Amino acid sequence: MPLMLGRKPKKFSPKTLTATRWLSNVPPPPGRIWREWKVPANAWGAYGNLTIGDCTLASKAHTMMMMTAHTGTMFIPEEADIIAAYSAISGYDPNATPDANGNNPTDTGCAMTDVLNYWQTTGIAGHKILAWAAVNWMNPVQLAQSLYIFGCVDVGVNLPNSAMDQTNAGKAWDVVPDDGGIAGGHDVPIYGEGSLGNSCVTWGARQEITNAWVQKYIEEAYVVITEDWLNHVSGLAPNMLDLDALNADLAALRA
């Protein structure tokens, strides 16, 4: 099965908040977190990422589905709206003349922070976020806390060729002695966490990831804050998340 990527290297944005101080009082989360159960397995869709490098937008479509499934009625974005956002951010033109290798020269991918900024300011498929914040994925407790409180950790990975082979073979992404080199950058939303590792959704399906793989191949990680999810969290755990600190950061961002 053909598998496309599309994440450009990590790009600094002054609008990136830091989640650490919001999580200071959050206890270790449950032994297992499984957010993706609310979305039927056949509903995810690849959102074009089997043929074009729009992983940074496909991941946002999946996250909108997961979050709205938990906070109300599940919203399923139209693929055309996701690809339109990819075009607006990256300059992708589906009708561009192919290059000498038969590739679309405008299919160049996106930086994750450019997509997050567009999601905040313009919106994707009619939905906006309030903000996003960086997560320290090298700290397993903070990664699990972030997933527990915010529902999703959106990670940018340097994907080895071995991961594509593992996906096509129906296996977990795991570290192997010869990973075949880095195929490119990829963006996947992590929705699940347990003792053996994490689970994400990519290319329209659920994918398992081992803890060792997480430590080796992730380059950047973020949580997103939406009005619906913030209200959801406030009702679930008012004494856990430092809402005062979070709201102060959101107010400073709007100033």
Q: Is residue 82 classed as helix, strand or coil in its secondary structure?
A: helix
Q: What share of the chain in percent tops pLDDT 70?
A: 97
Contact 142, 20 (CB under 8 A): yes
- Mean pLDDT of the region 62-91: 96
Quick one: pLDDT at residue 238?
Answer: 46
* Mean confidence (pLDDT) of the chain: 93
Distance between CA 81 and CA 160 in Å, rounded?
Answer: 29
Quick one: pLDDT at residue 240?
Answer: 67
Q: CB-based contacts of 170: which residues, under 8 Å, 6+ apart?
A: none
Q: Which helix (H) or strand (E) holds 100?
A: none
Quick one: pLDDT at residue 55?
Answer: 98
DSSP state of 127: B
With tokens 């004494």, the residue in question is 239
C-alpha distance across the termini of the chain, in Å: 47
Lowest mean pLDDT among 85-89, 93-97, 139-143, 205-209: 139-143
pLDDT in tens, 164-210: 999 999 999 999 999 999 999 999 999 999 988 999 999 999 999 99
Contact 114, 89 (CB under 8 A): yes
- Hey, what domains does the chain have and what are their CATH numbers? 17-95+103-254 (3.90.70.10)
Q: Is pLDDT of 114 > 80?
A: yes
The model's pTM is 0.95
